[in-house]
Structure 1
Amino acid sequence: MIYQHLSTRENEVISREHSRATLDPLTRLYGYDFGRWKAQHFPEHFWSTSYVGATFSQELVENYYRSSTFIFGDDPGVLRKWLATDEFKMGLLPKELVGSVEIRLNAVSHDRGSFRAYIFGVPKSPGRMQEALDGLFELKAGARVCVRFLTEAKTTEERDEHCAAAITILFPSEHVEKLTAYKVKFVVDEGHVHDLADTMAQDWASVHG
């Protein structure tokens, strides 16, 4: 209970900036410094071995990974890199411990640099969205995975069009067996949910049309 109170985070966002250089307050330059990075992301005193000791600190980190829900956007490569990074320098890799992740995919882009894209939005390529799932199968078996697919659709027909264009790329048939090792929930615009927890592989395959 103590570990859960101290280190469990319901919505821990892991962005592409998570592991980047931090600002040195003296030189005003960005650089890599583990102590400064940890103080920025985990400022509370109980994350320091100087206060709680090595054993407590390791168990705190293990609980952080096991009991928190980690949220990722649709930036490619972030999930895979984070899962394989010993960010606490304690010999612990997230992929060996993490039990819950959420990946948020937006099927529409507003940042392509064109006036039309910014004002009206344009569909993202399924390939780009699939890259955000790269590393998913490095999670331990039994992990909970929620993929939130936002289409910004105004009609059912428009939503179906977005999904039909993307779902075979995001969840190709050769990955169906791998997906059954996890508790996967696929949510489309919050109102349409596919849950693999009680679904056989052949039933999920039917989603592919």
Structure 2
Amino acid sequence: MTTNDNDKNDYGKLKATIMQYISDLSCITLLILSRKLKAERNIENEVKALDKQLRGLHRQSKLLSLKSAKEQSATRAAITEYATQDCRKLCDTIIKIFPREIRDMIYRNIHGEAEICLKDQPCSDWLTPGMGRTKYLNSESEYHLRTGYLNPVENHLWSAEYLGKKFMRELAGQYFQSACFDFGDDWSFIQKFRITDQWKLGWVPGEFATNIKIILDCSEHVYKEWPVVERDTWHSAGAGWDMTQEPEWDPFKKTRPRSELLEATENLFGFKRGTKIKVQLQTSHSKREPPPSEEQIFRAMAQIIFPTLRRLFDAGIIVTLVCSHEGDDYPDLAIAMTADHHDLESYERDFVKLQSTYSRLIKEVLEKLVEKWKLEEAMEQLEVAMDRMDDGSEDED
């Protein structure tokens, strides 16, 4: 065999070896890929199985949630029914056992005694933050008005379903009788308040004797009885309820006819006998002008509204006229209409007596305060003298 033949045989063997290696490598690669594909299929199958299991668990979760909601609803209904019956039984027992005086104490403990601001603008008093006419008209219960929250736990205290009709009426009656409703200087809302069952109680405020507070602001008005002085830019010299004639409306002078005030006072009628109405005559003044006296304020306004006050008294309303100055530290002068006030003169005469008594009491109080101040000052001087004597004795020792 020649050399060329040997080379050909070696080449053939090498080629066969290489081909076998490539074939074996391909088989190994295919085997590896096959195993990877099998593993991926197993993972996919596991994922599908888990997904199926999750869907089943999700459906089971929904079913359990629905079942739980139904059970909770049934539980709440059972608790509500029990609470309703138990509360109703308690209220019926209170009605049966306790006299009205004790029941009124219970009612006052439930709702308290407060001043309800029904002014057009929210009250600035920190005791009644944000409370005003808008909030009252949007409220659904006394608790909602007081707190701004609809809390079923507290709202049931104003529900006839829980309390019973008689207990509820007594509670509402005690509330409207003990609370004071402040309408400010806008009297137009009084009638709507009187005839509106705002909290769906089954009764309107006009069915109960209640407490009404209104303000007749005299700060923009000047009367012919008052001295003419230099006025500030806010108050015009010709403003006021004219005492002798019916002037035309003048927006620059703020002149208002008497009929407008008398028309406003008609809103005070229609309340139940025993209702207390406080009409506060309020005025403020600038630093450049002396304030009008209480007597000047009283005489000026009483000339206009005395007939209305008398009609209110005859209708069973307890009406009181109050004179006050904005920013004063002294108590207000208040005089209630009585059966003895047959005419304006008798009413004015009693007011003058009241003012005299008030001035005398103020004088006595001031004198006692001065005496107390002098006594305290003397005691302080005595203590200082005794301290000095003690210091001198120690120095001698």
Tell me the distance in 2 between the aligned counterparts of 1:50 and 1:192.
41
- The residue type paired with residue 117 of structure 1 is W
Considering only aligned residues, what root-mean-square deviation do their CA atoms show, in Å? 3.8
Q: Post-superposition shift, 1:77?
A: 0.9
**Under a length normalisation based on structure 1, what TM-score does the superposition of the two structures give?**
0.68
Which residue identity is paired with 1:53? Y
Match of 1:167 in 2: 302
- What is the TM-score with the length of structure 2 in the denominator? 0.40
Partner of 1:8: 112
Report if the CA contact (8 A) 1:82-1:94 is conserved: yes
Name the SS of the counterpart of 2:342 in structure 1: helix
Q: Is the 8 A contact 2:181 2:211 kept in 1?
A: yes
Aligned-pair distance for 1:92?
0.8
CA drift of 1:16 comes to 3.1
In structure 2, the gaps of 5 or more residues are 1-104, 122-131, 222-231, 242-255, 325-330, 350-397
User: Structure 1 pair 127/166, CA: closer, same or farther in 2 (3 Å)?
Assistant: farther
The residue number in structure 1 matching 2:323 is 188
Choose the corresponding residue for 2:313, options 179, 200, 204: 179
- The percent identity for this pair of structures is 21
Residue deviations 1:141-197 (CA, integer Å, cap 9, x gap): 1222221111236345x655544443233233x652432422222111154332224
Alpha-carbon distance between aligned partners in 1 of 2:159 and 2:210, rounded to the nearest angstrom:
28
Write the letter of the residue equivalent to 1:139. Answer: F
Number of aligned pairs? 191
- Bigger share in strand: 1
Instruction: Please identify, of 89-98 and 50-59, the stretch whose mean Cα deviation from structure 2 is larger.
Output: 50-59
Q: Once the 2 structures are TM-superposed, how far is the Cα of residue 205 of structure 1 from its aligned partner?
A: 5.4
For the Cα contact (< 8 Å) 1:103–1:133, is it kept in 2?
no
Instruction: Please tell me whether residue 92 in structure 1 is matched to residue 200 in structure 2.
Output: no
1:81-133, CA deviations, whole angstroms, 9 ceiling, x for partnerless residues? 111111111221111113322222211249xxxx922799x646455555553
1:200: which partner in 2? 340
Paired with 2:236 and 2:311, the residues of 1 have a C-alpha distance of 40
- Deviation string 1:26-70 (CA, Å, 9 cap, x unpaired) is xxxxxx8664x8664144643335798152555432321122222
Residue 19 (structure 1) shift: 5.0
| 1:63-82 correspondence runs (5 A) | 63-82=174-193
Distance 1:62 1:192, change over 3 A: closer
| Native 8 Å contact 1:74 1:129 kept in 2 | no
- Contact 1:80–1:134 at 8 Å: present in 2 too? no
**Alpha-carbon distance in structure 1 between the residues aligned to 2:212 and 2:233:** 33
Q: Is the 8 A contact 1:186 1:193 kept in 2?
A: yes
Query: Which one has the bigger helix percentage?
Result: 2
Instruction: Say if 1:59 and 1:117 are closer, same or farther in 2 by CA, change over 3 A.
Output: same
CA contact (8 A) 2:281 2:297 kept: no
Give the deviation of 1:201 after TM superposition: 3.4
C-alpha distance in 2, partners of 1:208/1:117? 31
The aligned residue for residue 283 of structure 2 is: 151
